[in-house]
């Protein structure tokens, strides 16, 4: 039986994709900002083709919105979008961590990511390190499909964090919570670690995007 390998992304497209993604996830490119193909092509010294392909890929991950009339823009973040993304994380991530712990998986990558976050020179580096911390907790869960599902929302979750931190730089509180989660995980207490992770994720989105009361909405 003939099988087909996935088509690799051309190197120029990958370069442009990673550069745009980094700009979005570190706040260099703001939500709602237009992403003009000709300008990006000139900036990166490439033709419009790799830029166009990179933007299509980023639209597939939820970081970019493609419109027939407005072209490509960085995705806007609002309370509904944030809660949708974090609801997926609440459903899946604590269970993935529980499974990682019960499998006695190594969590050294999570410890390394914590150190990187503590030593980060700026918010951009800290945000990227925090993403790696969470991924290191769920990646060794033993279920590749579960890990991929969480990978699919991690960029959008990072975009939410970037926007929330711009309004309220609560990264130190999250760093303390990360240490608690890792301590529980390394101690082998799967249930307590999963509960701490659930509370960590839930409390962040509630602080950053609090529910409006009917009176507030009036």
Task: Note the pTM of the prediction, 2 decimals.
Answer: 0.83
pLDDT confidence tier of residue 9, bands split at 50, 70 and 90: low
Read off the pLDDT of residues 153-187 as tens digits, 9 standing for 90 and up: 998 998 898 888 877 778 789 999 999 999 999 99
Pairwise pLDDT comparison (161 vs 40), residue with the higher score: 40
φ, ψ of residue 18 in degrees (nearest 5): -65, -35
Q: Is pLDDT at 102 greater than 90 in this prediction?
A: yes
Domain 79-208, CATH class in plain words? mainly alpha
Mean pLDDT of 142-163: 92
Strands 34-35 and 64-67: unpaired
- Specify the pLDDT at position 10: 61
φ, ψ of residue 132 in degrees (nearest 5): -70, -30
- The count of other CB atoms within 10 Å of the CB of residue 120 is 17
Pairwise pLDDT comparison (1 vs 123), residue with the higher score: 123
Q: Which architecture does CATH list for 11-74? A: Orthogonal Bundle (1.10)
Number of helices (H), then strands (E), in the chain: 10, 3
Reduced to 3 states (helix: H, G, I; strand: E, B; else coil), residue 20 is helix
Show me where the domains of the chain are located. Answer: 11-74, 79-208
């Amino acid at each position: 039986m003939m099988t087909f390998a996935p088509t690799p992304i051309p190197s120029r497209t990958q370069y442009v994709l990673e550069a745009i993604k980094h700009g979005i996830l570190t706040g260099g490119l703001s939500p709602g900002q237009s992403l003009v193909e000709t300008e990006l092509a000139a900036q990166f010294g490439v033709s419009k083709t790799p830029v166009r392909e990179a933007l299509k890929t980023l639209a597939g991950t939820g970081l970019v919105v493609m419109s027939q009339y407005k072209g490509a823009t960085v995705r806007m973040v609002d309370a509904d979008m944030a809660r949708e993304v974090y609801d997926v994380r609440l459903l899946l991530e604590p269970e993935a961590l529980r499974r990682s712990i019960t499998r006695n998986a190594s969590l050294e990558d999570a410890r390394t990511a914590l150190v990187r976050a503590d030593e980060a020179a700026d918010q951009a580096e800290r945000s990227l390190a925090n993403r790696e911390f969470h991924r290191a907790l769920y990646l060794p869960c033993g279920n590749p499909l579960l890990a991929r599902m969480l990978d699919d929302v991690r960029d959008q979750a990072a975009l939410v964090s970037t926007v929330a931190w711009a309004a309220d730089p609560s990264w130190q509180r999250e760093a303390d919570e990360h240490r608690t989660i890792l301590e529980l995980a390394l101690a082998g207490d799967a249930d307590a670690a999963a509960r701490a992770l659930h509370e960590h994720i839930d409390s962040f989105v509630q602080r950053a995007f609090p529910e409006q009361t009917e009176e507030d909405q009036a």
